[in-house]
């Protein structure tokens, strides 16, 4: 197999090292020439080392993997690494883009490596991902939610929200006041619409009807049927975690 070089970008050191170790197993001829902690570092290291392949974590502080990919453009073969994201994955599939889900599965990585090796062997140019990256470019995040409580209009800072839960045609917003007292209100905006505007580095969907602020989680209790329950800091509420969403907690 011909010699090739790669860059890995992930803000979690253990995940960077784990991916490098897996790549050494399935692609011994690959040399990882750079390990970046964020998108800005990834762009700088790419300019320095010019690797043939870049493995980019989608969600990184500062410059994201999507933004780094826009800078790298068609100069390298790109593979995106992401936690479960019900909105991003269909976009990746539609764009026929290589992506890996965390925690990275060895068999899926081996399939991705085979495709990369074939492209390099045939000297195929990297795909033009401009239109896909424009779709995936992070949107401005929601900062405030308006809720009517009786005759009062309440402005709730998104940073104060503990969780959001779908309730028929409404959404329950559970937040914490400045004195720590919990509050709840019903709003008409659907949960799916709110989720599209939230910062997914701070919030996670844990059930088809529940989104939680990660900093509000006290601990998680796993159940035998591959589901779990989330317990929150300073609240008696518990939240269900369904089987489909449990995998994202393995990397935390």
Which CATH fold would you assign to the domain 4-136? Rossmann fold (3.40.50)
- What's domain 144-251's architecture? Beta Barrel (2.40)
Chain segment 161-213, per-residue pLDDT in tens: 999 999 888 999 999 988 888 999 999 999 988 987 888 778 989 999 999 99
Torsion angle of C-alpha atoms 10, 43, 94, 125, degrees rounded to 10? -130
Q: Is residue 247 scored above 80 in pLDDT?
A: no
Chain segment 13-72, per-residue pLDDT in tens: 999 999 999 999 999 999 999 999 999 999 999 999 999 999 999 888 778 898 899 999
Q: What is the mean pLDDT of the chain?
A: 88
30 contacts: CB under 8 Å, gap ≥ 6: 4, 5, 6, 23, 24, 53, 113
**Three-class SS state of 33:** strand
Residue spans in the chain of domains classed CATH 3.40.50.2300: 4-136
Helix, strand, coil distribution of the chain in percent, nearest 5: 35, 35, 35
Q: Is residue 1 scored above 60 in pLDDT?
A: no
Residue spans in the chain of domains classed CATH 2.40.50.1020: 144-251
The helix or strand, by DSSP H or E, that contains position 34, with its residue range, turns out to be strand 30-36
């Amino acid at each position: 197999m011909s010699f090739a070089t790669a860059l890995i970008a992930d803000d979690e050191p253990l995940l960077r090292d784990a991916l490098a170790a897996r790549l050494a197993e399935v692609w011994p001829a690959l040399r990882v020439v750079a390990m970046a902690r964020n998108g800005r570092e990834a762009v700088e290291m790419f300019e320095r080392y010019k690797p043939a392949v870049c493995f980019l974590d989608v969600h990184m502080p500062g410059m994201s993997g999507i933004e780094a990919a826009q800078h790298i453009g068609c100069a390298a073969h790109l593979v995106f690494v992401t936690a479960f994201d019900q909105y991003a994955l269909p976009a990746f599939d539609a764009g026929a883009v290589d992506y890996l889900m965390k925690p990275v599965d060895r068999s899926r990585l081996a399939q991705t490596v085979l495709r990369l090796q074939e492209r390099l062997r045939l000297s195929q140019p990297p795909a033009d991902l401009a239109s896909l990256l424009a779709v995936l470019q992070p949107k401005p995040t929601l900062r405030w939610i308006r809720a009517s409580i009786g005759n009062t209009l309440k402005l709730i800072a998104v940073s104060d929200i503990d969780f959001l839960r779908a309730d028929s045609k409404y959404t329950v917003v559970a937040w914490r006041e400045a004195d720590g007292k919990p509050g709840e209100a019903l709003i008409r905006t659907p949960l799916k619409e709110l989720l599209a505007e939230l910062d997914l580095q701070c919030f996670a969907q844990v059930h088809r009807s529940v989104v939680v602020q990660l900093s509000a989680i006290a601990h998680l209790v796993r159940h035998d049927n591959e589901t779990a329950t989330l317990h929150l800091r300073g609240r008696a509420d518990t939240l269900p975690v369904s089987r489909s969403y449990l995998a994202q907690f393995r990397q935390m």
